[in-house]
Structure 1
Amino acid sequence: MNRPLRIALVAHPRHPIAEPFKGGMEAHSFHLARGLMARGHDVTLFAAGDSDPAFTIDPLLPVHYDRDYPWENTNPHPELYTVLDKAFGAARHRIFSGHYDIVHNNSLHRFVMQEAKRTGLPCVTSLHVPPFDAIHGIVRDTLSDTHHVTVTSARQNISWWGQAIPPESLVVHNGIDMACWPFSASGGDHAIWCGRITRNKGPHLAIAAAKRANISLRLFGYLEDRAYFDQEIAPELGEGITYGGVLEGADLSDEMQQAALLLFTPCWDEPFGLIAVEAMASGLPVASFDQGAVREVIGEESGRYAAPEDVSGLSVAIREALDINRSIPRLRAEAAFSHETMIDRYEVIYGQVMNASQRRSRKENPYETLML
């Protein structure tokens, strides 16, 4: 990118864009904002008002919505959609005011994409989730030369579009700041599991596989589903199985460096798997269910795999993964998933939609071209 840009970065306001991160979407928005700012871009973060004050924040809501309108499993609070429609309905005019060179949309709300189509202003929407009915049609109908979407993996692109992938849907792998995840050439004799504590992340299966493989396991992550934790995780704690809560990035990095390997147990069509990249950067091989984009991210040399929800197979994968040299996953993370590589790719796409918007503007205003 030849010049600094004014960027509106729209985040999903379920949680604050602040450490400790509740999930991958929050981590992505945080590190993307910080990385763009480090390159000299002027970033305004449209997010929950209780996000990290180090950013310039234009609040979508005064505080993150999960505090007052919790989303339990698949059941949103009955007032939530009204609250979000009101918030995004007011914010879309600020986001697409013409003040910004580019809008980078990390939210899931339809109003942002619809406003991108209506105005023809340059916009990139990053999709971090598999397709679901409430949003799939909106994404499809708003694609244009001035509104592109990015997905985090080739597998996610197929999930969204099948074999008819539109040219406006582009793969940008999530990236991490390698400096935040120092490499450790040796670790302990225990496994680690990190993520949201909810059924579709599979921590109960990680525990079962660790016990079968006779390896201790430390779990960390946000308690998204308290009932699930109380019924299926808490009774398994003890005798080498521990839960350490939610950790800040530096503390989680320390835990990564001390572990022998990562257990990664998605029970859904995982679009990417940021925690696997962070673990690999730290030097951890991965034992994982072969689900979604997992193999695309981890690769053949950095991990070992089991069929989805196959506890016995995962216990075998654990034992095999322990033999992987820790430099192998680190080198893969450096080569494919650095923060710099991700932002380079985004800047190219920004340029594409900005140029298309300028061409459209000149076509609609031919006198502007003559005056130039």
Structure 2
Amino acid sequence: MNKKLKIGMTITGHYTIPPPKDIIYAPMVIAKAIAEGLTKRGHEVYFFAPKGSKLEVSRIISGDIKPLHGIRGKKELKILSGKYVGPVERGKIYFLWDQYFISLMYKTAIKNNFDILHIHPIDTAIPFGMAFEKIPVVYTLHDPIYPWRAEVFEIFSSKNQYLVSISDAQRKPAPKLNYVATIYNGINLKLFPFSAKSKDHLLFLGRLLPTKGPDIAIQAAIKAKEKLLIAGTPTSGQYWETKIKPYLGENIKYVGNIPYNKTFKYYGQAKALLCPIQWEEPFGLTFAEAMACGTPVIAFKRGSVPEVIKHKKTGFVVEPYNKKGEINIEGFVEAIKKIDQIKREDCRKWVEERFSLERMVLEYEKIFLKIVNRHR
């Protein structure tokens, strides 16, 4: 290591780190891993997060604010549960919590001569970066780059602000932004031990949303005459009532939301993880987690899927639509029937080579050192 850096980091003011058990928030897993990994590498990492957060870093700075999740529904924010508060208004309230920690981080960084900042909520933070041009800042992009987001990045761009994409596919909508690297998300392989043998069922694990495609996974499993376990955040509403609940039974079972530290058991027991995604997935952390356990992944060819899954080696990458322009459930069924062709050892090896936590931390360290040297 060439230089010991003083780094400020933040991700959200909504939740403590780690988040409550009922919350699935993959970017927080990554943010925590990077922060703790760089601390172990000898850097001074100051993480700005709500009271109650627990990380193995140099210092956690919380100010005077509790996490939004912790006071929601109480007197302080009774308005959040009001019938007149829509998603736009609610989003504005969420932004206030992020902005508090971002402003606190900049204030602390200036006072204590931080070398670099690493921020995850870019939509909230990028105007701050433009206003404080002397401090280099890196943003990790966790979401798709929609046209409006690309335009905002361009408007508030400045020479001290750099973007890290988590896949090459993520860059396609806006290839000319100020990217400094593509760094694939990494996972702690100790938390996802290899399982040489599986049980006789398939798995869907993730948020139960149309974009994740649990309803398609159900239909594919039924047509393939396979058993399917569905694990994910409990949900209600028309989607659950019409697309998922009617099919639950002996062969299609819903097992509820699984705590993150227990997901490896479900990955390791499955013949395959089904990911019939209906959006341009920026990375897909569950793909890597499943493969680390030896479980092949079947996913539609959307977003980063071809980068994360090696077709016919660690799973199957399926064309999302058939010749009629319909969702290609039959392609998924064909892949399910071929799943025994995949060697579970190959899945594990692939993740060890490309998606380890250690590799991710080293790549962030390399980029941070490069940027800091550039701004001296």
- Indicate whether the TM-score tops 0.5: yes
Q: Distance in 2 between matches of 1:271 and 1:156?
A: 5
Match for residue 322 of structure 1 among 324, 333, 340:
340
2:241 matches 1:230: yes
3-state SS, counterpart of residue 355 of structure 1 = helix
Asked if the contact 1:151–1:172 (Cα under 8 Å) also holds between the matched residues in 2, the reply is yes
Give CA deviations for 1:102-150 in whole Å, capped at 9, x if unaligned: 211111333x222222222011000011113553223224444422101
Q: Which residue of 2 aligns with 1:101?
A: 115
Q: Which residue of 2 aligns with 1:76?
A: 87
Q: Percent identity?
A: 28
2:159 matches 1:149: no
Cα distance, 1:88 vs. partner?
4.2
Q: Which residue of 2 aligns with 1:370?
A: none
Asked if the contact 1:146–1:354 (Cα under 8 Å) also holds between the matched residues in 2, the reply is no
Q: Distance in 2 between matches of 1:230 and 1:26?
A: 30
1:235 to 1:50, Cα distance in 2 relative to 1, 3 A = farther
Asked if the contact 1:305–1:314 (Cα under 8 Å) also holds between the matched residues in 2, the reply is no
2:42 matches 1:40: yes
Structure 1 residue identity aligned to 2:11: A
Match for residue 358 of structure 2 among 340, 343, 347:
340
| Structure 1 residues not aligned, in runs of 5+ | 359-372
1:224 to 1:148, Cα distance in 2 relative to 1, 3 A = farther
2:144 matches 1:130: yes
3-state SS, counterpart of residue 173 of structure 2 = helix
Match for residue 58 of structure 1 among 57, 61, 70:
61
Q: Distance in 2 between matches of 1:108 and 1:245?
A: 32
Q: Distance in 2 between matches of 1:225 and 1:7?
A: 41
| Structure 2 residues not aligned, in runs of 5+ | 74-79, 321-326
Q: Which residue of 1 aligns with 2:369?
A: 351
Q: Which residue of 1 aligns with 2:127?
A: 114
2:39 matches 1:27: no
2:280 matches 1:278: no
Q: Which residue of 1 aligns with 2:10?
A: 10
3-state SS, counterpart of residue 348 of structure 1 = helix
Structure 2 residue identity aligned to 1:187: S
Cα distance, 1:314 vs. partner?
0.5
Q: Distance in 2 between matches of 1:25 and 1:225?
A: 24
Asked if the contact 2:13–2:97 (Cα under 8 Å) also holds between the matched residues in 1, the reply is no
Structure 2 residue identity aligned to 1:302: T
Q: Distance in 1 between matches of 2:55 and 2:307?
A: 35
2:95 matches 1:91: no
Asked if the contact 2:183–2:363 (Cα under 8 Å) also holds between the matched residues in 1, the reply is yes
Greater Cα shift, 52-61 or 117-126 = 52-61
Structure 2 residue identity aligned to 1:276: F
Asked if the contact 1:12–1:108 (Cα under 8 Å) also holds between the matched residues in 2, the reply is no
1:149-228 correspondence runs (5 A): 149-161=163-175, 165-166=176-177, 168-223=179-234, 226-228=237-239
Q: Distance in 1 between matches of 2:183 and 2:263?
A: 25
With the length of structure 2 as denominator, give the TM-score of the two structures: 0.85
Q: Distance in 1 between matches of 2:167 and 2:232?
A: 24
Asked if the contact 1:123–1:148 (Cα under 8 Å) also holds between the matched residues in 2, the reply is yes
**Paired residues, number:** 349
Give CA deviations for 1:279-313 in whole Å, capped at 9, x if unaligned: 00100111111111101111122111322231111
1:302-313 correspondence runs (5 A): 302-308=314-320, 309-313=327-331
Give CA deviations for 1:201-237 in whole Å, capped at 9, x if unaligned: 1011011101111111111122366542233212221
Asked if the contact 2:230–2:253 (Cα under 8 Å) also holds between the matched residues in 1, the reply is yes
With the length of structure 1 as denominator, give the TM-score of the two structures: 0.85
Asked if the contact 1:261–1:322 (Cα under 8 Å) also holds between the matched residues in 2, the reply is no
Q: Distance in 2 between matches of 1:15 and 1:195?
A: 19
Q: Which residue of 2 aligns with 1:361?
A: none
Structure 1 residue identity aligned to 2:17: I
Structure 2 residue identity aligned to 1:117: M
Greater Cα shift, 168-177 or 133-142 = 133-142
Q: Distance in 1 between matches of 2:370 and 2:11?
A: 22
Match for residue 259 of structure 2 among 242, 248, 257:
248
3-state SS, counterpart of residue 96 of structure 1 = helix
Q: Which residue of 2 aligns with 1:269?
A: 280
3-state SS, counterpart of residue 212 of structure 1 = helix
